[in-house]
Structure 1
Amino acid sequence: MSNKLLHRCHWSLLSALLSACDPGGLLTTVGPDYRTQPMPAAARWQAPQPADSLPPMAHRGVPANLSRWWERFNDPVLSRFLEKAEQASGSVADAKARIEQARAGLVGADSALLPKLDFSTGASHSSSSFGGQPFVWNQFPFGLQSSWEVDLFGGLARQKEAAVSQLASRNAAWHDARVAVAVEVANAYLEYRYCESQVQIVQADTESRRESARLAEIAGKAGFRAPGDIALANASAAEGNRMLLRQQAQCERAIKGLVALTGLEEAEVRKLLTGTPDRTAKLPEPPAFRVDALPARVLLQRPDLAAAERDVAEASARIGVEQAKRFPKLSLSGNITPTLQNMNGAAFFLAETWSIGPTLSLPLFDAGKRAADVEAAKARYQAAESVFRSKVRTAVKEVEDALVRLDSAGRRLPEAQTAVSGYRSHFQAVQQLYRVGLGNLLDVETSRRNVLSAEVALKELEQEQVSAWIALYRAAGGSWEDSEDVETAGAASSSAAGTGKSAKPDRFINHPIDLTEGKS
């Protein structure tokens, strides 16, 4: 048989096999085509928007857009801590490593759809004898081997689809880790500034108590104050000093927490915290913003939900991967191996060897293993879908909680400010009466405690408001759209879309995906 006739027979056999497996002339893709389901969220938020209850100054914030939100705090110390914490975070590093693993998986899925080509070479020196004089045989083979699995039932395409979804999920998980670290550092920084402000309040109160005790001591020696008043004044000064020492210890603990989060040396952390020209304790001032009125649009900005949704898409594609294993598999292989050789030192001659042909494998009996793998893949899909919907419900709760906290803090702040002003005026009046001999020390100390409690409560409420803004930022998804990794994953998704398989872009915050529309 001539070489041309042999080639014609090989390709005729391949065409017949492909036609037999797919009478329509197109390859088949088994498994479900992934379709997104409607977002299980209410039509609108039940809690009031921040600007509906906060003072007019809140409206100066940038609405909705959370990009570079931290920079608009105008707090270089916070910005420094955020930068160093992201670099030092183990969770961020682990999430980034998972991105690289997923990217390697996508490269492997891509390569499975294409022919493989390998080159090999070698050398051998041997001696042989067939009952007579031995002869020496030198061989130098070099050749190419190629193989290609024909994706008859779409198993390899589903594998790539799963890899694209996994990469998108890992990218989103990385951004979620970054947002989580930023929130953790911001809360730790807020805790320190809040503690610092409390120290100043308690310190001012303690100094006032000491001055009262000093004056009582002088008046007692002159015979104008009873010993009981002097003892009460000294006890009040000691109590104030005790509270001051306790508050200072809490600030020290807050510094230790910032050191652990940022990875900076403690000396540098202390320098950053205390190196500002204005040493008046001041809480961070978060820029106000409004969340979108539609919960579904806000939730689509959350990287954790984006990751969970892509996990569902991956699980759907895995069903097709397992189903394809139950069908015949067709592969083409070929090789060409020229060998340069000689015998007993004679001239070299070239021997050519080549082969090409299809291989069809049919699964006949596996005791139900492949069918069980399909059912397991379906169960994993249902579990991933359930996890996604559970996370959506949790996300709605977090947004609603943050909105309620902001609304409550905004309503209580004016009342707390009024209480501080009233208690302080009353204390000054009672103290003045006592100093001129028309009052008693017990009333002064009672009034002092009221002022201290009101001032601490006001500062605590201000801290709660800032904390609620940070919580709303976290619940609304944070800012995670500025990443090269997302763009890479988005390009991979576009590549997958070119194969006819379902894939979604990653840039959720600028181009959110509408989960209310199905997609195959």
Structure 2
Amino acid sequence: MPIKTKSVGAKGAFIRTIALLLTATTLAGCVVGPDYQKPLLALPANWGNAKQAKPSRPPELTEWWQRLRDPMLNELVQEAVSGSLDVAAAKARIREARASYRQSAGALFPSADGSSSVTRNKSSAMTTVQGDIYSQYQAGFDASWEIDLFGANRRAVEAARYGLDAAEEDLRSTLLTLIGDIASNYVEARGYQARIALARRTAASQRETAALTRTKFEAGASSAVDVSNAAGQAASTEADIPELEAAYAQTVHRLSVLTGRAPAALTDRLKKYAAIPTPKLPIPTGIPAEILLTRPDVRLAERQYAQATARIGEAEAARYPGVSLTGDIATSGLKLGDLGKNSSISWSFGPTLSVPIFNGGQLKAAVDVARAQRDQYFIAYRSSVLTALEDVENAIVSLAQERIRNGKLASSASHYREAASLARSLYQSGASSFLDLLEAERSLYSAEDALLQSRVAIATDYIALNKALGGGWHGLIESSKPEVVDVNTGPHLPPTGDRLKRTAMKN
């Protein structure tokens, strides 16, 4: 009868444990904290300077730099995407986010550990067959599972998933900035080349004028003042060349570094003159609402806001009771063969309940911290949207006004060119003073230089508009390959003595 009573009690305890397990598993379906919902922001229907009656087509952002129609630029963009250190760092952050996500997801599953040991013991009591020295063998298996009653672990997984999304958007944002910087610096480099060529042509023409003035002076048809003014103007124009050369070299150095190379790597490659890239205009700008879908920095801010929202639930769940199931099996024996005998095996299994009773308000404060951080990310998201809208509006206005300015500068340069040609002819024939020719040549050089800078500004504004609209790299990026490939990571002896010295010398 006692044996029967013990059996029924054990059976009842087992049933109660199973019932508790099923109840906890059912409760594990609930979560605490706010559920994330993508915010709806009020955006204008059109851009500020757009005609209301003419809706704009969606922006053409795929490989927008190719519409600058420069093969060298296309090559540099490809090389920068594969060689940029900023892109490599962004890919490493994606790998980190993926690993963090897997780490968070692992907390949803049970954990198990095994152990074994063998010891030699000495006892003063003669209780063993072998005498006072004997061996003891032990083996064990421990398992535990934290039941996610109120969704703390699931909120952590949710936050990690949003973090992974944010890391991917960070890579897209890095690519957008990189391609824009490559295009802008390339256009500036070609602009400096054109301005250097203009300065050299102008200086050569002014040297010819100075020689003509000296000839007329020797013939008594000109004054020494005219000779000095002519030589001074030529020298002044030549003085612009070193400054332009330095700016050109710095731009080429920046391009090289952006592609992941040494600063002088592209010097020979870009030495050959090429025209300033001219974009194909006009370009469609779409509607403001498309910014939410195309700008990676806006999407990054939205994912960070979502991640902060999930962390509120993670902090809130810490204020609720927690249940975990633990179990272990242990066996011990004086002989290795005794480990499998029923008499040497013991086991335990059961739930553990933890209830936060008093913590000085720390858990509630942690929730308040998470809510405040969520609010900050929400404000940052709204700010990123406004900044994106501002960038597009500014780029649209700058490009439109620069095109108008370019037309006026082209007309100005054309008139100054005619005036300089006529002034030279009149000066050679003696029908005009040297001051007229001096002023005409100076005005022509200034107008042509301003026209070249305007052409650079148009291309730069075109690049800025595409960046503002969210145009970046739309191809595949392999981010799973690590930058540093570790070798000899298994068990091995650390370098010591001569090996350590050789390793230090190699590094």
Counterpart for residue 39 of structure 1? 41
The 3-state SS of whatever aligns with 2:335 is strand
The 3-state SS of whatever aligns with 2:113 is strand
Cα distance change of structure 1 residues 7 and 225 upon mapping to structure 2, 3 Å threshold: farther
Cα distance between partner residues in 1 of 2:338 and 2:394: 88
Counterpart for residue 147 of structure 1? 144
Cα distance change of structure 1 residues 348 and 446 upon mapping to structure 2, 3 Å threshold: closer
1:122 and 2:117 correspond? yes
The 8 Å contact of residues 253 and 266 in structure 2, kept in 1 or not, is answered as: no
Cα distance between partner residues in 2 of 1:484 and 1:453: 46
Counterpart for residue 159 of structure 1? 156
Aligned 1:62-461 pairs, distance under 5 A: 64-87=59-82, 89-130=84-125, 134-275=131-272, 279=273, 281-288=274-281, 290-339=283-332, 341-342=334-335, 350=341, 351-461=344-454
Alignment partner of 2:459 out of 445, 450, 466: 466
Deviation, 1:258, is 2.9
Deviation, 1:293, is 2.9
Cα distance change of structure 1 residues 383 and 7 upon mapping to structure 2, 3 Å threshold: farther
Supply the RMSD in Å over aligned alpha carbons.
2.9
Aligned 1:477-492 pairs, distance under 5 A: 477-483=470-476
Cα distance change of structure 1 residues 18 and 290 upon mapping to structure 2, 3 Å threshold: farther
- % identical equivalent positions: 31
Structure 2 gaps of 5+ residues are 481-507
Cα distance between partner residues in 1 of 2:327 and 2:238: 88
Cα distance between partner residues in 2 of 1:485 and 1:156: 30
The 8 Å contact of residues 95 and 479 in structure 2, kept in 1 or not, is answered as: no
**Residue type at the aligned position of 1:33:** D
Cα distance change of structure 1 residues 48 and 272 upon mapping to structure 2, 3 Å threshold: farther
Report 1 or 2 for greater relative contact order, CA contacts < 8 Å, sequence distance ≥ 6. 1
**Residue type at the aligned position of 1:392:** V
The 8 Å contact of residues 41 and 296 in structure 1, kept in 2 or not, is answered as: yes
Cα distance change of structure 1 residues 485 and 310 upon mapping to structure 2, 3 Å threshold: farther
The 3-state SS of whatever aligns with 2:268 is helix
Counterpart for residue 9 of structure 1? 13
Q: Deviations over 1:314-370 (max 9, x none)?
A: 111101001100111011111223445429xx9886322222111111111111110
**Residue type at the aligned position of 2:16:** S
Cα distance between partner residues in 2 of 1:36 and 1:315: 13
Q: Deviations over 1:282-321 (max 9, x none)?
A: 1123455744532121332111111110111111110100
The 8 Å contact of residues 41 and 392 in structure 1, kept in 2 or not, is answered as: no
Aligned length: 470
Cα distance change of structure 1 residues 433 and 162 upon mapping to structure 2, 3 Å threshold: same
Deviation, 1:143, is 3.4
**Residue type at the aligned position of 2:178:** V
**Residue type at the aligned position of 2:198:** I
Deviation, 1:202, is 1.2
Counterpart for residue 491 of structure 2? none
Q: Deviations over 1:155-191 (max 9, x none)?
A: 1111111000011011111221122122222222222
Alignment partner of 2:31 out of 29, 53, 56: 29
Deviation, 1:139, is 3.2
Deviation, 1:14, is 4.7
Cα distance between partner residues in 1 of 2:37 and 2:339: 64
**Bigger mean CA deviation after superposition, 405-414 or 191-200:** 405-414
Deviation, 1:30, is 0.5
Structure 1 gaps of 5+ residues are 53-58, 488-520
The 3-state SS of whatever aligns with 1:337 is strand
**Residue type at the aligned position of 1:225:** S
The 8 Å contact of residues 63 and 290 in structure 1, kept in 2 or not, is answered as: no
**Bigger mean CA deviation after superposition, 218-227 or 124-133:** 124-133
Counterpart for residue 498 of structure 2? none
Deviation, 1:422, is 1.3
Cα distance between partner residues in 2 of 1:299 and 1:401: 18
**Residue type at the aligned position of 1:401:** N
**Residue type at the aligned position of 1:144:** F
Deviation, 1:410, is 2.2
Cα distance between partner residues in 1 of 2:461 and 2:247: 22
The 3-state SS of whatever aligns with 1:271 is coil
**Residue type at the aligned position of 2:44:** A
Cα distance between partner residues in 2 of 1:327 and 1:136: 52
Cα distance change of structure 1 residues 266 and 90 upon mapping to structure 2, 3 Å threshold: closer
Cα distance between partner residues in 1 of 2:187 and 2:63: 18
Cα distance change of structure 1 residues 48 and 406 upon mapping to structure 2, 3 Å threshold: farther
The 3-state SS of whatever aligns with 2:270 is helix
Cα distance between partner residues in 1 of 2:282 and 2:133: 86
Cα distance between partner residues in 2 of 1:476 and 1:142: 64
Cα distance change of structure 1 residues 3 and 354 upon mapping to structure 2, 3 Å threshold: farther
Q: Deviations over 1:117-141 (max 9, x none)?
A: 2232332222323267744433333
Deviation, 1:78, is 2.5
The 8 Å contact of residues 115 and 147 in structure 1, kept in 2 or not, is answered as: yes
